[in-house]
Amino acid sequence: MMKYIKGAFLWALIVLFITPLKAQTYINTPMTGTPAAGQYYNEKQITLSPNFTFTASSGQTLKLFIKDCVPLTLNLSSSQNYVMISTPRISGITTRSGLANRTTCELMQNVQYFDGLGRPIQTIQIKGSPGYNDLVQPIAYDSLNRETVKYLPYASTSANGSYRSAAITNQLAFYDPAGVPDSTSQLPGGIAHISTPYAMTKYEPSALGRVLEQGAPGDPWQLTGTINPSGVSSGHTIKTSYSVNNTLALTDTANTYLAALYTVTINPNQSRTLVRLSGADGNYLAGELTVKITKDENWQSGRGGTSEEYIDKEGRIVLKRTFSYLVGAPNELQILSTYYVYDDVGNLAYVLPPKSNADNTVPTQTILNNLCYQYRYDEYNRLSQKRVPGKGWENMVYNKLDQIVLTQDSVQRGNNQWTVNKYDGLGRVIITGLWNAGANIPLTTLQDSIYAASQWDIRDYANNTTGYKVTSYPALTKTLTINYYDNYTNIPTIPPGLTPTPGTYSNLTKGLVTVSKTAVLNTLSNTEPDMLWNVNYYDNKGRVVKAYMQHYLGGTLSSYNYDDVSNTYDFTDKITATSRKQYTKNADNTAAILAVSIANQYNYDQADRKRETFERINSDPQVLVSRLDYNAIGQLKTKHLHGLSGTIPFLQDINYLYNERAWLLSGKSNTNLFNFSLAYNKPNAGVSPQFNGNIAQMEYTKTGSSNVNFNYRYDQLNRLKSALSSDSALDETIDYDVMGNITKLVRSGSNSANLNYSYYNANLNNRLQTVTNNGNAFRSYAYDGNGNATSDGGTKNISYNLLNLPQTIKQADTILATYTYDVGGRKLRNVGSDGGWDYINGIVYTNNVINFIQTEEGRIKNISGVYNYEYNLKDQLGNVRLSFDRDPVSGLVRRLQEDEYYSFGLRKTPVDYDILNHNRYLYNAKEIQLDLTNQYDYGARFYDPVIGRFTTVDPLADKMRRVSTYNHAFNNPLRFIDADGMAPTDVIIGGDDKQAAFEELQKSVKGQLTLSMDDKGNVTYSKSAPDPLIGKDAKQLIAAIDDHTVNVNVTATKGNIISTVDFVGGAFLGNDLLPSGNVNTKQVISPEILEKMDNYFGSPGKTTLHEVTESYNGAKIAQSNGVSSPFASPSEVANPNSDYQKAHKAATDQSGPVIEKYYGPLGGRVSKPGIMGKTEYILDNGVKPAVPLTSKTYPQKL
């Protein structure tokens, strides 16, 4: 939310202290007394005072380091304008004079030079390269002040921050040195050879200045017709053009832009009716819609491979259309249209995906129920009912504060059951639970009952059950979660073992979640379900310094089963070390026994790049798990695994190379355990090149055999059509319908099959009904009301829990397996044919004995009480290809397990696989299941690689309405990963001004990231600078996009005031924490206002980025707290410890403040707004003349 200052400016000097994660503790005073065991460092000297003492006990060490530090020497320009940013890496630097005579261990420094117009022309990270040279990025503009060429950064030969007058020449020499043949793809040091190390942009020659063509670094991606060392560019760029709709019937001709006109009737019961008039009246009149046409880097000619977006006069997208020539039938054009239909008040009422055939016919109610998205709203325009394809209706009921109190899915409706949220007076969720209503009660009746009761509940220290006095409607039948805030006082029945020594934690906990309880779903049939405790203790900065987390080992609830986790931070809130002790109950449940202790430490280089990861189990020697080396521009060059002593420093090294676009080209181990290489635009002859990031070819090594080569082919919707291997052992060819449902899949090799798919309702459905193999019956499926497949397609039946996750697997009347989850979606146990498996945050037990502990690079296997480190070699998707350890006899690498996969993840039949002892985390690093044969657990749902589909509906189906709700990785599993079974991208811009919002967001990270936005509003990025030159603001955006547990939803609207909360430019509308632990956020912005503000303060796009990162940080706070964040109401804004305030402070900065001035009804200044009057919003930085931003006239709505 954009924050403003009321009445006048407040000037302040703000000094930011940002330090890297480090495993050692910085010491800048003489060491006295007896320090704790650990590692301490200084860049110059360490002094031990006379009373210093340390006695090492078993498993404890004290290490003192003098770091490898380089003095920071500056030679800044005396003739150029510049801004120097010095970022302390240690505490104690609080003044400008304290910045002098520092080293890279103490300080990071960046300088940005500006021209006379205040435009940045050069950015330098001083000593930012791994070799301690400067990283320099030149910036240039055309005559219209546009950055038409974006240059990649380069590593200079000097390191003093000086202005490089020949930066562009030097940059070209860095990537394309004299004398290096054009055929050479790689330079020494792992740098890609690029003769055109820049991205060019072509703008429309009009006042609108819209982008017509966007290039990228590398000869193939230069603008059409430009001359480069490879000749005249063929223009494998992203091309955009603009038009308006007409009434010409759709053909392959590029100027036919017919759009059907759908409207909605709102019925008295708030249901909606879809309407389309007959004949010509059923289409938009010519010129009523703007059409934006986009062609990606693979486009060659014709309409195939293009996408169109139709936008009405209110800025709403009403139609998205893509075109594809069918593979094997180049003259047959496939047209895929998705319509978005709004009701009279502007709410989205229907989404009609391609298979509904809405271009030609009005979908019937059956088609609407099976294939389309339907939304209904209450009288306050709050979403009250929705139906996504594959599922039944879902209901939502609110209280007076617009908080969701009741939710009900289709399965719950059959049992008259509701999920209930209870809130406190600050809008925080305190209790969730289930309510058995006993009858089907109308939504309006439920809302009236909620309105008539209390709107929130309060703490009641006399209540020994929940600690709350609950007077809101309805009363709970079962409790699912309980959250306690602000203090630790009178928490009912908290186990005494979960309380640390008094005085070791802070009491400054207002606004923080202190204690929570979470139900075990499998015990909901009990009178009182088992509840697991989680207790967080904080320091005075609100950081969790100790956490107690109860676990469920053996399916038993015991106060002696818990984890004790301690965190150590640097002064900028980053964790520097963690210690985890896991306790289990003794035989008679009277005491806790230490099962294992784990200590982790991390080292980073002078530019905050992660360098080393250490791990220790119990009192075993500390192990250097990995060390990372980088090339001169910050790309990962080498990963070293398992540090050794002696002449061989590491057990294994993996070297990586990249192409011009920073796409991964290869990963090769130094002992040839597993090597792979990828080709995009330069495959072997006979293979179609791919210029948009699709992989055209792959080669990898195979033990005891020749290398395996794969050739890949795609359709113009970027769906994988065939994957053909050189040994024909892993071939797949795939056909799809217009929704991306697989209709035919043919495999060769050990899992050969010829599968044909049939879907319900004569294939007018996303639910798979039957599969045949070579014409014979193979599988058949049925579903529950939530779209969950109730069988594995064969003889096994599946029941599901409240979260639509598997609970029991049966064959006839025999239970084969039982899965146990908590309400947060964490898998706690799986008891099946392979025994009992317990999952405790990365520690996995088998039959109550630790089997292994997961690490960043593999696992630590428990072999009869001895912990052995095992490592995984992975391909570009994270698929585990080979596992190894250190042979205890020879001390060299020992192969443990090797795996190959079909492209959609089916594992090649292994030889001598031992599921109890071998690695189970395989394709996409997900756990393979025994009793659900070949299926993988993705967290939010299960994936069946035999048929290439998920078995349940995507929890985020609303974000990807143009593809099947059972789709896997957009049918491009070589490029995309469904990290948790949900959306592959996680910043989504919508609304009637989303393009303007996207353009503002791109401005905020120019020169660092190149952003792309697809027609669904999903924002992705590619790095246009190496990691060291990607600033902290851009890194926050990267985190938001890469974090698949958070969906940042930004609605861009035209207008000045965000009416929901009367904030200017942007509004934090809170978020929804889902049972799976994922979060959907809600943020509204006005790009028009934000652009005006940022231009005034000279920071284009900065406040738009602030709004996105504020929304993301709010989601991370919700995940940390375990509850959803409320919208920024006046009480939330006034509370310095509210989720909003924390998210606002953690987000990237705004470009500047906005002054708010109030006027009464007669025009005089007043101190606060009244019912009558006016508010003016002013931009004034104290240097430029003040300018009005916008204003609002009252009366306000009461």
Summarize pLDDT for 417-468 with one digit per residue, the tens.
999 999 999 888 999 999 999 999 999 999 999 999 999 999 998 877 899 9
1014 pLDDT band, cuts 50/70/90, is: low
91 pLDDT band, cuts 50/70/90, is: confident
792 pLDDT band, cuts 50/70/90, is: very high
Please say if the pLDDT value at position 18 is more than 50. Answer: no
Domains of the chain: 1-175 (no CATH), 605-724+795-971 (2.180.10.10), 985-1145 (3.40.390), 1154-1198 (no CATH)
pLDDT score, position 381: 86
pLDDT score, position 886: 96
Residues 730-785: pLDDT tens digits?
999 999 999 999 999 999 998 999 999 999 999 999 999 999 999 999 999 999 99
Please say if the pLDDT value at position 576 is more than 60. Answer: yes
Nearest by Cα to 1132 from 240, 403, 562, 71: 403
pLDDT score, position 1075: 45
Rounded to an integer, the average pLDDT of 377-403 is 94
Among 661-670, 963-972, 1189-1198, the minimum mean pLDDT is found in 1189-1198
11 pLDDT band, cuts 50/70/90, is: very low
* CA 619 – CA 85 distance, rounded (Å): 43
Q: How far apart are the first and last CA of the chain?
A: 23
| 82-86, 356-360, 1099-1103: range with highest mean pLDDT | 356-360
Rounded to an integer, the average pLDDT of 392-419 is 96
Which one is predicted more confidently, 1151 or 174? 174
- β-pairing verdict for 120-125 and 429-436: unpaired
pLDDT score, position 8: 27
Please say if the pLDDT value at position 19 is more than 60. Answer: no
Q: Which helix (H) or strand (E) holds 453?
A: none
Edge-to-edge strand ranges of the sheet holding 806-811: 796-800, 806-811, 814-821, 827-832, 835-840, 843-846, 849-855, 858-863, 866-874, 880-886, 893-898
pLDDT score, position 1139: 79
41 pLDDT band, cuts 50/70/90, is: low
Please say if the pLDDT value at position 596 is more than 90. Answer: yes
Please say if the pLDDT value at position 1031 is more than 80. Answer: no
Q: List Cβ neighbours of 323 (8 Å cut-off, separation of 6 or more).
A: 303, 304, 305, 306, 307, 333, 334, 335, 336, 716
> How far is it between the farthest Cα atoms of the chain?
96
Give the CA distances from residue 1098 to residues 1036, 1090, 1094, in Å, rounded to whole numbers and listed in that order: 21, 12, 6
* CA 777 – CA 569 distance, rounded (Å): 60
Note whether 353 and 962 are within 8 A (CB). yes
Note whether 564 and 548 are within 8 A (CB). yes
Rounded to an integer, the average pLDDT of 47-74 is 79
Q: Average pLDDT over the chain, rounded to whole?
A: 88
- β-pairing verdict for 768-773 and 753-759: antiparallel
Residue that has been written with the tokens 């940002």 in this structure = 18
What percentage of the chain has pLDDT greater than the value 70?
A: 90
- Cβ neighbourhood burial of 685 (10 Å; 0-12, 13-18, 19+): exposed
**Tokens standing for 1100?**
């284009």
Instruction: Please state the φ and ψ torsions of residue 1140, each to the nearest 5 degrees.
Output: -60, -50
Residues 281-332: pLDDT tens digits?
999 999 999 999 999 999 998 999 999 999 999 889 999 999 999 887 777 8
227 pLDDT band, cuts 50/70/90, is: confident
Note whether 869 and 643 are within 8 A (CB). no
Q: What is the pTM of this model?
A: 0.82
**Tokens standing for 676?**
């792979």
pLDDT score, position 620: 96
Please say if the pLDDT value at position 4 is more than 70. Answer: no
What does the CA dihedral 276, 281, 282, 284 come to, rounded to 10 degrees?
-120
Rounded to an integer, the average pLDDT of 611-616 is 93
CA angle 471, 473, 476 (to 5 degrees): 90
| 631-645, 951-965, 1061-1075: range with highest mean pLDDT | 631-645
Rounded to an integer, the average pLDDT of 1170-1181 is 71
Note whether 154 and 174 are within 8 A (CB). yes
Residue that has been written with the tokens 């449940």 in this structure = 589
Residues 629-666: pLDDT tens digits?
999 999 999 999 999 876 679 999 999 999 999 899 99
pLDDT score, position 315: 86
| Amino acid (one-letter) located at 287 | G
Please say if the pLDDT value at position 1128 is more than 80. Answer: no
Please say if the pLDDT value at position 12 is more than 50. Answer: no
Residues 101-129: pLDDT tens digits?
999 988 989 999 999 988 889 999 999 99
Q: List Cβ neighbours of 78 (8 Å cut-off, separation of 6 or more).
A: none
Please say if the pLDDT value at position 536 is more than 90. Answer: yes
Please say if the pLDDT value at position 58 is more than 90. Answer: no
Rounded to an integer, the average pLDDT of 1116-1131 is 68
pLDDT score, position 939: 92
pLDDT score, position 1007: 66
Nearest by Cα to 355 from 367, 342, 365: 367
Please say if the pLDDT value at position 21 is more than 50. Answer: no
Please say if the pLDDT value at position 1109 is more than 80. Answer: yes
* Cα four-point dihedral sign 1130, 1134, 1135, 1138: positive
Give the CA distances from residue 240 to residues 213, 291, 1066, in Å, rounded to whole numbers and listed in that order: 6, 10, 29
Among 192-206, 837-851, 1057-1071, the minimum mean pLDDT is found in 1057-1071
pLDDT score, position 986: 65
